[in-house]
Each structure stands twice: as structure tokens, then as C-alpha cells.
Amino acid sequence: MSRICGYLAAVLVLLRVCVFAAPPVNLQPVVTEIDRPVAITNAGDGSGRLFITLRAGFVVILGPQGLNSTPFLDISALTTTDSERGLLSIAFHRSYRTNGFFYIDYTNLNGDTVIARYHVSANPDVADPGSAAVLLTIPQPFANHNGGQLQFGPDGKLYIGMGDGGSGGDPLNNGQNLGTLLGKILRIDVDGAFPYSVPTDNPFLSTPGAKPEIWAYGLRNPWRFSFDRQTGDLFIGDVGQDSFEEVDFQPATSSGGENYGWRLMEATHCFNPATNCNDGSLTLPVIEYSHAAGDCSISGGYRYRGAASPDLSGIYFYADFCTGKIWGATETSPGVFSSELIVDTGLSITAFGEDEEGELYVAHFASPNGAVYELKQATVVQNGSSGGGGGGGGGGCFISTTLR
């Protein structure tokens, strides 16, 4: 009898170990020895290329034959990389295949944010350096919290992430001030009059004293945000102050105008003032995590919509820059998410990115040994570990916990 009970106990332990809520994943390197990658995207032109933004002022192409030796874009002479500055992202026009336009967000030599349009040259792997046209220059009072994300939304409008201007605690209260572009998500129409027009349905177009480009406000440093390619929902990873990180969520049905709370709140906690900070008008985050375990800075990610890893479908992946932890969040009911630690990589993760097929990639920020990894579901084998190489896991049967 004791032998049978022992056998049953062992089976139950095995089942407990091998049944997990979140699927384990592998990170498989696709390019290494690159310098401080901060963004990953695709051109949507059917070429299958990945465009990797390097903070020093370069965009490089990862194609079918590997990393191109010549950069797609070099603006290293135009940008500074002290503190959180540099070339921060690139976004391709939705008609890039026919018009050749793409847009970049960088910090100029004066420390100000610049949004500029460029055009590809006759060589599809090299941009025309003489095609630069500045759309918008935004003064930055401090060297940190530059935001830097550019994304075209499902509506074809260009969305721009702007931090609160920097320092600490938002001393100028930019997050709550509709009279400044800092601490906001902006929305502009690059297909209207040059340099851009303001969409007629932007929420503060008729608000006295408000900047009409504002789409949402109350943000500290929306370093990385993304649109769900299937639903159009917007996920914003907003970097916290000293204690909490957050993910804000805007459903595709939103008409904009949300106040995500900063500096009144840090995630779901009062910040300034210390009490009675929410009058009920604020839109609270759908995900938060604390700095208690050494985490310090969120890198917002993407909801997986690819086909190669069906077990990951619908999961929103995000990471912490300081620890390299990657979490996965599942929407359990409309606008409500349940999150679980999936993998503890030990990497310095700055960004996630999608290829044309919706497969996900992760950028490791290092110099000179930065890298880009593809995120895939792991193959679970009988002994309780996972096959496929790459990374480690925090859930289920995936037992390795570091990447080397």
C-alpha cells in the first residue's frame, strides 16, 4: 500500500510540475554583436526584412542572408546618446511599398525630440540621406524620459510616444498639462498637409489651451507601445518612478482622451498628492508590477498574433529592462488581464518587435554584444525540460532560467 501511495504521489508531483497556465518559451538568437538595439520592426512591403534601430543613430537590416553590412540609415552625426537620448525608433508608412516613406524619432544635438520623414533610395536596402524632412521638433527640458516610440495605427495615423520631459517626479507637471506635448501619446495625419495635419477626430481639438495633437495623456515615459494587429487595441508600457511599472490599455473602440494618471498616480498608487489622488476620471492600468524583486523599468511589448507558435496566441508579452524577466498576460474578460512570469532571461530587454507574419522578437541592449532573439513556444519533452534551445522559463516544465 505504501509503495502504491508513493507511486501516486510521484505522479501527482509530476503532473503539478508539468501543467502550467502560461506556455514556456524559447529565445532563439537571430543576430548578435550589434550595438545597443532599441527597436525592431518591419517595412510591411513583403520583403520579410527586419529593421533594427541602434541607439547610436543607425538602422540596420536583417534579411534572408543575415545582417546587411551597410546600414539602411545612418544619422549618427545628427543625434546624441547621453542619458536616454539617441535614435529611438522607426516606423514605415502603410503604403511604403509604393511611396517609400518612413519616419524616425531621435534626439538632436540640442537634446530635443525630432520626428522626421525620409525616403528610400533606388537601392531598397539603403535610405536616401538627403530626403530628410522634419515634421516636428519638441523641446526637452531634461535628458531622460524621451519616450521615442512611433507606430502607425490601424487608422493609418502616426502615433508618437512622448515622455514627461524628465528629471524625477515630473517637476513641471507635464503629464497632466494639456498645454504641452510632453507626457502624452500624440496622433497626427502625415497624409494631410505638410508637415502634418491634425486629425479632425482628435479628442482635444476644440479644448481651449490644449495641444490638438494629443491623443492620450497622464503618461510618465511610454517607452514602448503597440497595436494588436488583430483587434486594433493599444497597449502602452509606461515606465514608473521608484516603485511600480504599468501597462495601460486602450481598446480599439476608444475615441481617445484617456488620462492615465501620472503624476497623480504611479500605476494604481497615489504619487502626487499622496492621498485622494483619483477623482474617478483616471484610466487605471490593466497590469502593474513592483520593484520589490529588483525590477525597475518596463519594456512594453506585443500581443502575439503569429502562426508559428499557436500556444502563444493572444498573449501580450512585456519585459523588465533591469532583470530581463518576460511576462505574458491573457485577457480574461474585456479589458481585464491576468499576468504570469514566463521566462527569466537575465538580458537587458529594451524592446519587442514583430515581423510581417506577426512573429515576435526581443532586443538585448548591450555594447558591443547586443542581440536580437526570436520568441517561440518551447517544445516540452518527457523529462520535464523543454527543447528547441535558447532561453529559460519561469513557468511549467521549463527549468533553465538564464540565457548566455
The enclosing domain of 134 has a CATH number of 2.120.10.30
Distance of CA 224 to CAs 160, 163, 196, 308, Å?
A: 10, 11, 23, 24
Q: Is residue 14 part of a domain?
A: no
Q: Is residue 12 part of a domain?
A: no
**Cα(first)–Cα(last) distance of the chain, in Å?**
47
Domain that holds residue 290: 25-377
Q: What is the Cα–Cα distance from 140 to 224, expressed in whole angstroms?
A: 18
CB 319 within 8 A of CB 307: no
Structural domains in the chain (count): 1
Residue carrying C-alpha cell 495641444: 211
Q: Is residue 246 part of a domain?
A: yes
- Tens-level pLDDT at each residue, the chain (404 residues): 333 333 333 332 322 333 346 789 999 999 999 999 999 999 999 999 999 999 999 999 999 999 999 999 999 999 999 999 999 999 999 999 999 999 999 999 999 999 999 999 999 999 999 999 999 999 999 999 999 999 999 999 999 999 999 999 999 999 999 999 999 999 999 998 899 999 999 999 999 999 999 999 999 999 999 999 999 999 999 999 999 999 999 999 999 999 999 999 999 999 999 999 999 999 999 999 999 999 999 999 999 999 999 999 999 999 999 999 999 999 999 999 999 999 999 999 999 999 999 999 999 999 999 999 999 999 765 454 445 444 433 443 232 222 22
pTM to 2 decimal places? 0.90
CB 200 within 8 A of CB 189: no
Q: Is residue 348 part of a domain?
A: yes
Largest Cα separation within the chain, whole Å, is 83
Q: Is residue 209 part of a domain?
A: yes
Q: Is residue 132 part of a domain?
A: yes
pLDDT at 27: 98
Distance of CA 402 to CAs 66, 307, 328, 344, 366, Å?
A: 25, 26, 17, 6, 16
